[in-house]
Amino acid sequence: MRRQLAALGCLATIAVADYVIHRRRPPWIVVGMFDHPAHVATAVLLRKEPTPSYLAGSLLPDLDHIPLALRVVHPNPGDPRPVTHCLLTVAPVALLNREAALGMLAHFVRDLGVGTGAPLLWPLSRRPVRVPYAAYAVLILASAYSRSRPSRAAPAHIPGASGRGP
């Protein structure tokens, strides 16, 4: 039951974030308040046993929000994502912490389906890579279903039952 509630909570987090971001069109700083929990929820659904490093990595590409938040003029929600959202940024992190690098890839999964996409191939191309939101939604729903199913543990060993005849 706990697994089902966790999967449902992640789906609810993503659904509320996407509704607010796309239907209400809040200011940039408010978008982050909804988008960051949705990144963590996406990461949780994509990994059977998420570690703290993995979950931290799922927010790592958005460290660029800190200096942007301190500016007087904030970006618009429709502005392209910066180059911190490219695959090249994953390599140095992978050298330091493999789990954090995997979390960054989970971050990119959400960014590909939500908003303006991500410049994954920078510096080869500044063009953002995108997938339809429906593809992201199907992946998330399938992951939630997979995470909510009971685990298929091996049957318990019964002492004295060897599987041989009498």
Q: What is the pLDDT of residues 52-91, one digit of tens each?
A: 999 999 999 998 877 777 776 666 667 777 788 999 999 9
Gap between the Cα atoms of 141 and 91, Å rounded: 29
Gap between the Cα atoms of 110 and 58, Å rounded: 10
- Quote the pLDDT of residue 115: 83
Q: What token pair was written down for 123?
A: 């510096």
- Quote the pLDDT of residue 74: 66
- In sequence order, what DSSP letters do the residues of 95-146 get, joined into one string? HH-HHHHHHHHHHHHHHHHSTT-B-TTTTT--SPB---HHHHHHHHHHHHHH
Classify residue 51 as left (phi > 0), alpha (psi -120 to 50) or beta.
beta
- Quote the pLDDT of residue 131: 96
- Quote the pLDDT of residue 152: 64
C-alpha atoms less than 13 angstroms from C-alpha of 123 in its C-beta half-sphere = 0
Q: Is residue 104 within 8 Å of residue 90, measured between CB atoms?
A: yes
Gap between the Cα atoms of 15 and 10, Å rounded: 9
Mean per-residue pLDDT over the chain, rounded: 87
Residue 110 carries which side chain, given as an amino acid letter?
Answer: R
Domain ranges in the chain are 2-66+77-148
Q: What spatial distance separates the first Cα and last Cα of the chain, rounded to whole Å?
A: 40
Encode the chain (166 residues) as per-residue pLDDT tens digits: 788 999 999 999 999 999 999 898 888 778 889 999 999 999 999 999 999 999 999 999 998 877 777 776 666 667 777 788 999 999 999 999 999 999 999 999 999 999 888 999 999 998 999 999 999 999 999 999 998 887 665 555 556 555 555 4
